[in-house]
Amino acid sequence: MNSVPPASTNASANSTMNLSTGGDLKALASHYNSQGELKLGLSSTPLLKMIDGYERPFYLYDLKGLRARAKIYAQHTRSAKSFFAIKANANREILKVLREEGLGCDVVSGGELEVALNAGFKADEIVFSGVGKTLAEVKLAFQKGIHQINAESVPELVRLQKVASSQPAGAQMRVALRYNPDVNVHTHKYISTGLKENKFGMADEELSEALALFQNGQLPNLTFVGLSMHLGSQILDVSSVRDGVKRLVQKSVELRSQFSTVDIIDIGGGIGIDYRSDSYQAELTLLKIYEDILTTEIPSSFKAEAEPGRILVARSGVLISQVQYIKIRNDRTFVVLDAGMNHLMRPALYQAVHRVLPLQKRSSSVRRYDIVGPICESTDVFARDFEMSEVVEGDFVALMDAGAYGRSMSSGYNQHHLPEEKFLAD
């Protein structure tokens, strides 16, 4: 169950804008106040104030910070229509803020499509991506009349046409073809999606086959609107994104001479953040480069689309957990938390790093810990040799930057409860 979030804080988020220097991103960073209490960005509430009646780990979101981030993102991506990748976080209140800030939704399942609609997104603000859309999911997309389907294979196109032709006469769906440009964006191999060896999208040969289907009139109910791509996630090397976009643009320009309906270029998501620190510099630099890519590489005769996930929500959520035991063995000190890989899967899944910070600093002394969860798996480790200020049994900590791919990936493994989601009060 979600607790009820505080009222909208649109105006105050607006008042902190200082985009050229990144000053407002700085204002959103996590920090300790003079009493050693951990706080998030613009919120005046120390996180410690949120643990009254604590029973088990929960996600805590900063909607005010989220709104401010969405505005900063929007300022840098004015030339694109952005569709929030709901897989990063499907919380209804988060979706509400992002919808109010003008984003559409990118979904990858029928379940996500329903969540998006229930959260108030209009069907024509929804893009459906994903490599394995089932018949039922495709039917749902047609029934709802969504904005666009990003098709990933020739068999998928055949399925789309079959469903379209069984719809009431004249059913037409806007379809983009997801291109796999074989570009290495140097992210973790489990979240790299734009290489030939990955299952995603269509490489040149398959793309040609797909285009032939359109050319030969075999897909009469599908309108070919352009190419999409998604090169991977947590990308910090944006120059490789530029390479990918260049290839996408070149192909799109070529295709336009054959297909008059081609009008979009969807560059996907993928902008990363610096999980090792709360520095806003990397994000700001990436956003600026992204802005430059959008404005200089994509001809204005095309409509640019993007599918951001992490950059919007990662910093706006933390996972709150309690230290259960301090376990000392030879040269290692384990901090055993009540949160585990079931609550936050990223470290176990792809060696992701999350800072772990005590909600209340005890002293300035720093210790080196292995921070682990209670799950019966050796991969249930949040951080090894992690330097943090001293904690003792019963202390509360925040696993930072957990707003993206945190709650949405959580499970009931070992029959634990799914984590609740709460909101900072201001």
**Which residues contribute to the site for ligand PLP (CB under 6 A)?**
85, 87-88, 106, 129, 230, 233, 268-271, 307-311, 404
Least distance CB 425 / ligand PLP (angstroms): 27
Give kind and range of the element (H or E) at residue 208: helix 204-215
d(CA 176, CA 148): 7
Least distance CB 243 / ligand PLP (angstroms): 17
Least distance CB 309 / ligand PLP (angstroms): 2
Least distance CB 132 / ligand PLP (angstroms): 12
Q: Which has the closest alpha carbon to 161: 221, 224, 223?
A: 221
Q: Which has the closest alpha carbon to 26: 57, 68, 74?
A: 68
DSSP structural state of residue 416: P
Is 267 or 335 the residue whose CB approaches ligand PLP more closely?
A: 267
Residue with tokens 């209490």: 37
List alpha helices for 216-342, DSSP H.
238-256, 281-297, 310-313
Taking CA atoms, 390 is separated from 36, 40, 401, in Å, by 12, 20, 21
> Quick one: the chain helix, strand, coil %, rounded to 5?
35, 25, 40
Contacts of 267 by beta carbon, 8 Å cutoff, 6+ apart: 80, 228, 229, 241, 244, 245, 248, 293, 294, 298, 304, 305, 306, 307
For ligand PLP, which residue has the nearest CB? 309
Is 65 or 130 the residue whose CB approaches ligand PLP more closely?
A: 130
Is 39 or 230 the residue whose CB approaches ligand PLP more closely?
A: 230
Q: In one letter, which amino acid is 297?
A: E
Least distance CB 200 / ligand PLP (angstroms): 8
Least distance CB 140 / ligand PLP (angstroms): 18
Is 298 or 388 the residue whose CB approaches ligand PLP more closely?
A: 298
Is 56 or 188 the residue whose CB approaches ligand PLP more closely?
A: 188
Is 25 or 391 the residue whose CB approaches ligand PLP more closely?
A: 25
